[in-house]
Structure 1
Amino acid sequence: GAMASKLRLQLDAHASIHENVRRLLQFTTSIMEANEEGIRKDIDSEFLHDFRVAIRRSRSILRLLNGVFDPEKTAWMLAGLRELGKRTNDLRDSDVYLLRREEYTSLLPPSLRPALDPFFSDLEADKRLHHRQFCRYLTGREYSGFMTSLKEFIAEGELPDPETAPLAAEPTGDVAAKTIRKALKKVLVHGRRTGSETSDAELHELRIDCKKLRYLLEFFASLFPPKATAQVLRQMKTLQDNLGTFVDLTVQMEFLQSRLETIPADRGGISEAAAIGGLLTTLYRKREKVREHFHEIFSGFDSNETGELFDELLTGLA
């Protein structure tokens, strides 16, 4: 019964970007609302995942296409969506680590596996708490008021004042070509700056740049030849998978390190510390292998083939 977050918008390249961003926001708010019941009933973690993707997509497009709406309204929407996203973080974290129970257990020798039971018991208790808290928020006045105001605002079809929203009246095709080229350039420049001692923070920032480019490609996808779009997204997927795995492993290590520093000493703490130490060692080795492969993968993306694909995609839009 979940409503998936995959975009299904057929855009008109000649229509104003204001009209089409409004359509995107109408779609993403409908996704959020459609997944509320699944979140409340705790049917599956995918409901919360799709809810969060809709928030991220909305925020990303609003920032990347700054100038479509009045700046005060844009700031209000971004602040409300940011707060909503923050409200989901703790519940998301609990879900993610509980889903890794089998994976984490398999990485340890049999003698250490039972030592993770307290860790997962605490996660289950945390999830119950965070789920209750978020459900109260979903049924409260703050969330209801924000969503009502958001839907009323994006239902307004009149173009804003060009002095405060200079992008609003521009044709969608022109905006698509300019913003995608700009986002691609940022990914390439950022990626080319990375060296053999690339820091965790640099790879994290590059991953964010890639996400922004992907959100633009997905939003404007209906303007492009389907075959070329699929090829471009495939080119991006390998790079994004590498960066995503790296960042994911880094976050897991930070989470486990924080647990290691707070393990209660009175209930088998030594065994649990040994188990978590073993996990940290394994995850560190995995992450460093991913880091080693980054430059090879980025070189494959930063190629003439990719450049030609993007040129084919954007030719004729602007």
Structure 2
Amino acid sequence: MSRHHAAAPPAPAPASMRGAPQEIEWQLDATDLEGVARWLRDTALSHSLTVTPAGEALMRDRYIDTADRRAWRAGYTMRLRETADDAEATLKGMASSREGIRRRTEWNERLLQASCEALLAAPGAVGRRARALAGRQPLVVLFAIKTFRRRFRLEDCDGRYVGEVALDETSVLADVAAESGVEDIRRVEVEAVDEAAAATLAPLVEEMRLACELGDSQRSKFEAGARAAGLERPSVAVLPPLSNADRRRIGIGALARRVIDEQRAAVLAHEPGTRLGDDPEALHDMRVATRRLRSALRLFRAWLPPEAPPLREQLRWLAGALGEVRDLDVQIERIEAFAEAEPDLEPLAALLRIRRDGARERMLAALDDPRYEALLGALEYLAASATEGDAPALTEAPALLARQWRRFNRLARQLDADSPDEDYHATRVVGKRLRYAVEFVAPLYGKRAGRMRAATTGVQDRLGAHQDAAVAIEQLRALAGDAGGQLPAATLFAMGALAERYAAGMAAEREAFPEVYRRVRLRWRALERRAARGKKRARR
């Protein structure tokens, strides 16, 4: 019997997933399901709850994914469920259990039949996401389970439906057609319809846990099935940090290839979440990885083979496809936040969401284009290629950093409150290159590089906020001209007021810039000294 503790409602969902359907569920392992059923009938009334048998069913589930495990890598499971009279597809998040509770994003869609073909043709929430994830890849079955479930409906004293209890006898099957299982699971699942219901059910769950000697389930059914099938969670290979000896020995070309390998891995890691489209941060991180790759190819071009420069144009194409959706994500997030206080902006948010749908179609077409696959292959080849006559990174990196600093400093020191927006944007562009250069060579210089990286991030935050506001103002003007006839007069007026807020924000960023610029100058001087000492030691 497990250690007992109070049952508590789960933590709030991340902001990026708010509005998505949520499952709130306690999962408890049991040895005697009949005893649990008797306890429910005898005890629920003491908690002002009515328990009503809601039927039983034999469910056959097949968990599916692409061959490269895109759903799993994105943190989701895809399931096809078949009962005697129904077929359903589910896409569910893989949130870990906390005190027996799992809170997961969950979409369900009824199908004509429980097959991959029917899912990929389905018009609803699960079908759309399955098509986006799979792209040109087929869906394959990972493993199958069979569950006999007895359901009990829970209502409060006012007759309001608050959830249900499911008593499950599950077998993880050796193969899809098997009848006997390689692992058997007996489990009690209590699902609450919402947060208020979770608070109502928590005392019942805790008392049931104690009285029936139930233990918190440490693994979901998917995790149990994956383990039985010998499947491991997909992971992205992470290069080990450089040792002190490696820092002294590594060549500049080898460092460049290390950077390319890391950023290519980041593109792959964030692709599944980008395809799904429910968490804007996945797309943001994938787009940043493409930018870093372009910057690395530019910075290290003297030490890379002739096949490298053309890849910058391919990365520009990919970044453009990602950027169109990302820019709309940023606009929508801001407009929706403002719309909470200014409802007249909601028609604008609705228009932007329609445009985002079109941009996502174009982005997914790019990710399914053989050109994207070829780009990944070329980057892999580049990262693995050998380097002839590689000069020590410690002797070459100082000049690379100094070049990026001079370009940034030449523009940054001329900025003042009256400088044109274009000057701030140009400074932001070269500042980003400086930041990436510092990140790339950071393994050579330890803490001083870390402090310089933090300082350049501060500069980028200010310049980025300024540029985002400038772009937002131009976009509002363009929308007012192009789509003004589709928007109510009150919305157009609210857009004008919003443009004024953005302009005020730009003024605030200009006022704050001198301080972050002062900090980055101080950090640069410290890093410059550290790089000079490293170069001197490397030449001994």
Question: What's the TM-score, normalizing by structure 1?
Answer: 0.85
Distance 1:234 1:153 in 2: 29
Are the structure 2 counterparts of residues 184 and 257 from structure 1 closer, same or farther at C-alpha, using a change threshold of 3 Å?
same
Are the structure 2 counterparts of residues 251 and 128 from structure 1 closer, same or farther at C-alpha, using a change threshold of 3 Å?
same
Matches within 5 A, 1:276-315: 276-302=495-521, 305-315=522-532
Matches within 5 A, 1:4-153: 9-10=241-242, 12-70=247-305, 72-105=306-339, 113-153=342-382
Shift of 1:307: 4.8
Shift of 1:82: 1.0
Distance 2:469 2:337 in 1: 13
Shift of 1:78: 0.8
Distance 2:452 2:486 in 1: 54
Shift of 1:105: 2.4
Shift of 1:272: 1.4
Q: Which residue number in structure 2 is paired with residue 242 of structure 1?
A: 462
8 Å Cα contact 2:411-2:427 kept in structure 1: yes
Are the structure 2 counterparts of residues 149 and 175 from structure 1 closer, same or farther at C-alpha, using a change threshold of 3 Å?
same
1:254 aligns with 2:474: yes
Distance 1:249 1:242 in 2: 11
Q: Which residue number in structure 2 is paired with residue 198 of structure 1?
A: 419
Distance 1:266 1:97 in 2: 18
Distance 1:14 1:80 in 2: 32
Shift of 1:282: 1.3
Distance 1:32 1:9 in 2: 20
Higher RCO, Cα 8 Å, sep 6+:
1
Partner amino acid for 1:235? A
Partner amino acid for 1:120? A
Shift of 1:267: 5.1
8 Å Cα contact 2:405-2:434 kept in structure 1: yes
Shift of 1:84: 0.9
Identify the range of structure 1 (212-221 vs 186-195) with the bigger mean alpha-carbon deviation.
Answer: 186-195
Residue 278 of structure 1: SS of its match in structure 2? helix
Are the structure 2 counterparts of residues 289 and 220 from structure 1 closer, same or farther at C-alpha, using a change threshold of 3 Å?
same
Shift of 1:240: 2.6
Distance 2:332 2:487 in 1: 21
Residue 482 of structure 2: SS of its match in structure 1? coil
Provide Cα deviations, 1:105-160, integer angstroms capped at 9, x if missing partner. Answer: 25xxx5xx23222211111112222222222221232211222233223322243x
Aligned to 1:177, which of 398, 418, 425? Answer: 398
Residue 224 of structure 1: SS of its match in structure 2? helix
Are the structure 2 counterparts of residues 233 and 69 from structure 1 closer, same or farther at C-alpha, using a change threshold of 3 Å?
closer
**1 or 2, which has the higher helix percentage?**
1
8 Å Cα contact 1:13-1:171 kept in structure 2: yes
Shift of 1:61: 1.5
Provide Cα deviations, 1:139-195, integer angstroms capped at 9, x if missing partner. Answer: 232211222233223322243xxxxxxxx7221111211111222222222222334
Q: Any gaps of 5 or more consecutive residues in structure 1?
A: 160-167
Distance 2:406 2:487 in 1: 53
The Cα RMSD (Å) is: 2.5
Provide Cα deviations, 1:190-249, integer angstroms capped at 9, x if missing partner. Answer: 2223345211111111112221111111111111132x2333233334333221221111
Partner amino acid for 2:523? T
Shift of 1:287: 0.9
Shift of 1:97: 1.4
Are the structure 2 counterparts of residues 174 and 197 from structure 1 closer, same or farther at C-alpha, using a change threshold of 3 Å?
same
Distance 1:300 1:139 in 2: 44
Partner amino acid for 1:41? L
Partner amino acid for 2:399? K
Are the structure 2 counterparts of residues 296 and 77 from structure 1 closer, same or farther at C-alpha, using a change threshold of 3 Å?
same
Shift of 1:9: 5.0
Partner amino acid for 2:511? E
8 Å Cα contact 1:177-1:314 kept in structure 2: yes
Shift of 1:40: 1.5
4+ aligned runs moved over 4 Å, structure 1 = 1-4, 6-9
Identify the range of structure 1 (117-126 vs 305-314) with the bigger mean alpha-carbon deviation.
Answer: 305-314
Provide Cα deviations, 1:46-99, integer angstroms capped at 9, x if missing partner. Answer: 1111111111111111112221123x4232111111111111122112211122
Are the structure 2 counterparts of residues 266 and 204 from structure 1 closer, same or farther at C-alpha, using a change threshold of 3 Å?
closer
8 Å Cα contact 2:260-2:296 kept in structure 1: no
Identical-pair percentage? 23
1:274 aligns with 2:461: no
Shift of 1:300: 4.4
8 Å Cα contact 2:398-2:528 kept in structure 1: no
Residue 265 of structure 1: SS of its match in structure 2? helix
Distance 1:239 1:17 in 2: 27
Question: What's the TM-score, normalizing by structure 2?
Answer: 0.52
Partner amino acid for 2:411? H
Provide Cα deviations, 1:239-289, integer angstroms capped at 9, x if missing partner. Answer: 332212211111111111111112343652x11110100101111122122
Identify the range of structure 1 (292-301 vs 91-100) with the bigger mean alpha-carbon deviation.
Answer: 292-301
Aligned length in residues: 299
8 Å Cα contact 2:348-2:487 kept in structure 1: no
8 Å Cα contact 2:416-2:510 kept in structure 1: no
Distance 2:523 2:458 in 1: 12
8 Å Cα contact 1:39-1:47 kept in structure 2: yes
8 Å Cα contact 1:57-1:215 kept in structure 2: yes
Distance 1:31 1:49 in 2: 11
Distance 1:220 1:135 in 2: 33
Q: Which residue number in structure 2 is paired with residue 157 of structure 1?
A: 386
8 Å Cα contact 1:256-1:276 kept in structure 2: yes
